[in-house]
Structure 1
Amino acid sequence: MSFAIPYALIALVTVPVLVGIYVWQLRRRRRQAVAFSSVALIRAALPRQRMWRRHVPIALVLAALAALGTASARPQVRAEVPVSSSAVILAVDVSGSMCATDVSPNRLAAAQDAVRSFIDQQDDRTRIGLVVFSGFAQVAVAPTTDKDQLNRAVDGLTTGRGTTIGAAILKSIDAIAEINPEVAPADTSASGQVPGVPGGLPGQPGTPGNPATPAPRATETAPEIVVLLTDGANTRGVTPEEAADQAAARGVRVYPIGFGTTQPTQMVCTREQLGGGLFDGPGQGMSGIGPGGRNFLVVDEDALRTVADTTGGEYFSASDADQLQGVLEDLPKHVVTQEQSVDVSFAFAALAALLLLGGLWLGGRWRSTPG
């Protein structure tokens, strides 16, 4: 057991002080008692009474004061707490590759169906936030229990160019920081990110060739989690590994989901998914082949596994709509509870009230009832 306000335990000193005063008063009364020639005669004249009874009410009142003093120090214990008592941040990839039709009808449509199902299955206490990312990341819906608002946002997802997985993790951290004061916002300066400048500035930490120093992992795990759904590899900005260091330093766990096959076919977005236009085929700049021959249309599993290992989460893979649906349905089994500090001061305060009432009741009852 630990205490949020340990110096408040000083109040417990009053208990032994009161015990000392009580004992002193008993001895003082004995010295002041009238001397009788026959103690046996006096005992025979008085009603029979167990001597220990008169001490019990006082003991209960003193125990109540001790419990109340302990409660004032805000005692905390480590316990398994349901994740539903906190929040889940869904970070969803909306890059152009999500229009690939290797998952029918395309990756984005399948992801939208799975995410809507996940939202609807959560209980009314679970707050869910939505972060979307392509060339940049943004909080589409702050953590809320309003499922209608979340589903409307999921229905309105549109695609963009680029995949900023690292920025999505940082933006998810910021969303958590808004509802949990014990989680600090992401440090974009440490990652080389500059608002409005994708990829940061050359020579800054977090850019290629200038890796940021990994931050130490937090000793306390935040109750909020991040579920990251992506179908590709990071194309710009802070790397997923660097962002994972920041998440780990804040105790935020990330559960990445790699979605799609290793053989993406043509990309066909609906008019709604493009925000009004119609795109058929890979198109200019959408081949997905980056420097070194890396195919950004295929999940970078190594990076996502590193993110999961660094933050204490778990990596999942889904190559089709059914697998993605199953991963999201099974996810609560993996994160249903977590160990964290729970304030139990209320229990001590309640115990103090019961002890006090018990002492007063016994005192009144035994005073009026001999024996």
Structure 2
Amino acid sequence: MTLTWPWALAGLLVVPLLVVGYRRVLRVQEQRRLALAEQGLVMPAPRRGWRRHLGPGLLIGALTVLVLSLTRPVASVAEPHREGTVVLAFDVSNSMAAKDVKPSRLEAAKAAARGFVEKQPASVRIAVVAFGGTALVTQRPTDDRAAVLAAVARLKPSGETSLADGVLSGLSAIVGKPVKAPGDAEAGTTDESAIGFHGGTAIVLLTDGENTASADPVRAAELASAAGVRVEPIGLGTPEGTVIEVDGFSIATALDETSLQQIAETTGGTYRRASNAASLAAVYDSIQLQWTTRTVPHEVTSWVAAVAALLLLGGATVSVLRQGRVI
């Protein structure tokens, strides 16, 4: 505990003066009783024991605590809260235009994402990644909810799908620099430890799971796991699938859960299927960052003053009951 106005402690100098004054009053009362006894008057013997000092003691204690409240004490209180970074990684390949989730896989994901963003506390930063055949961080981690929602609204389906690039771009958003799979000489990194450890972060991978790229998404998930990042895959679509039109061709597309389950298992996340907009919203609600605590200073003047008031009330009550007056 710290004191905002420590100089107010000088007011405590009055406390020993009150104690001295109280003891003097007791001596005067005893001398008066003895004087009356010498004149032949019968005086009741004074009450002995600590109880006779309870009322005055409470009043002096109240004054002491009241002086302490004048210093404006500040206490450090541990408060639970959520903090960290969540990356919303959207699959924007052509298959995400499929309508087996109404109005489409991508539009349903975007609608549920808006609800998720609005529910997060200000201490949670959110980033947006769009991945298809390649991936791009469209919004770096920020607490600006309007910027996040704008980035989500701009997403449109096109191209192929690389789940590995989706995970690696999510890591790039968290780390703040490009991240590639270990051993990728073309990308220029072979050191897993270079990205550090980033606990309290998560990548929400929104995809139908149809991986059309050669890069292994499980290797990317291993890198995320080493960095302390959970990947929470959300499967969009139905196993039965549907047919979409791409450049005049009819292409069958269906939910592929195998890779998504492996990614979740590797990083300690949880795979969830969202076959319709309602279940997708429920999936978002189930994604929570870990609760942590932080020390926040709070001025506790009012609490200390309340204790002083209780002591004052107690001392006054005891004094009135024992001798019919407060002082």
State if a TM-score over 0.5 links the two structures: yes
Partners of 1:101 and 1:264 within 8 A in 2: no
Distance in 2 between the 1:119 and 1:246 partners? Answer: 26
Residues of 1 paired with 2:79 and 2:128: CA distance?
26
Change (3 A) 1:126 1:221: closer
Question: Match of 1:231, as an amino acid?
Answer: D
1:89 corresponds, among 87, 90, 103, to: 87
Matches within 5 A, 1:304-343: 304-332=260-288, 335-337=289-291
Identity score, percent: 35
Q: Which residue of 2 aligns with 1:251?
A: 228
Q: Which runs of 5+ in 2 are unaligned?
A: 1-77, 298-327
- Tell me, in whole angstroms, the C-alpha distance in 2 between the residues paired with 1:86 and 1:149: 18
CA-CA distance at 1:265 after TM superposition = 2.6
Structure 2 match to 1:164 = 162
Select which of 209, 216, 232 maps to 1:232. Answer: 209
CA apart distance, 1:235? 1.0
Q: Which has the higher strand share?
A: 2
Tell me the equivalent position of 2:115.
Answer: 117
- Whole-angstrom CA distance in 1 between matches of 2:294 and 2:257: 39
Matched, 1:147 2:142: no
Q: Any conservation in 2 of the 1:162–1:235 contact (CA below 8 Å)?
A: yes
SS at match of 1:287: strand
Residues in 2 aligned to 1:113 and 1:252: alpha-carbon distance in whole angstroms: 25
Whether 1:302 and 2:253 are equivalent positions in the alignment is no
Alignment of 1:1-371 (within 5 A): 82=81, 84-178=82-176, 186-188=179-181, 190-191=183-184, 194=187, 222-267=199-244, 281-284=245-248, 287-288=251-252, 297-332=253-288, 335-337=289-291
| Contact 2:101–2:277 (Cα < 8 Å) also in 1 | yes
* Separation of aligned partners in 2, 1:261 and 1:177: 33
In structure 1, the residue corresponding to 2:242 is in which secondary structure? coil
Distance between the aligned counterparts of 2:217 and 2:274, measured in 1?
19
Q: Check 1:91–1:193 CA distance in 2 against 1; reply closer, same or farther (3 A cut).
A: farther
Q: Distance in 2 between matches of 1:248 and 1:144?
A: 23
**Cα distance between partner residues in 2 of 1:141 and 1:309:** 27
Q: Following the alignment from structure 2 to structure 1, what is the Cα–Cα distance between the partners of residues 266 and 107?
A: 30
Identify if the C-alpha distance between structure 1 residues 136 and 187 changes in structure 2 by more than 3 Å, giving closer, same or farther: closer
Name the SS of the counterpart of 2:251 in structure 1.
coil
Q: 1:326 to 1:192 in 2, by over 3 A?
A: farther
Q: How many residues align?
A: 219
Supply the AA of the counterpart residue of 2:183: A
Asked if 2 retains the 8 angstrom alpha-carbon contact of 1:221 and 1:252, the reply is: yes
| 1:5-51 deviation per Cα after TM superposition (whole angstroms, max 9, x unaligned) | xxxxxxxxxxxxxxxxxxxxxxxxxxxxxxxxxxxxxxxxxxxxxxx
| Paired amino acid for 1:325 | A
State the alpha-carbon separation in 2 of the partners of residues 252 and 161 from structure 1. 27
Aligned 8 A contact 1:192 1:238 in 2: no
Partner of 1:292: none
Aligned-residue CA RMSD in angstroms? Answer: 3.3
- Using a 3 Å threshold, how does the CA distance of structure 1 residues 249 and 100 change in structure 2: closer, same or farther? same
Q: How far 1:320 moved relative to its partner?
A: 0.9
Structure index of larger Rg? 2
Letter in 1 for 2:265: D
| Preserved CA contact (<8 Å) 1:96 1:286 | no
TM score, norm. by length of structure 2:
0.59
| Cα separation, 1, equivalents of 2:200 and 2:178 | 15
CA distance in 1, matches of 2:201, 2:180: 18
Q: CA deviation at 1:102?
A: 1.1
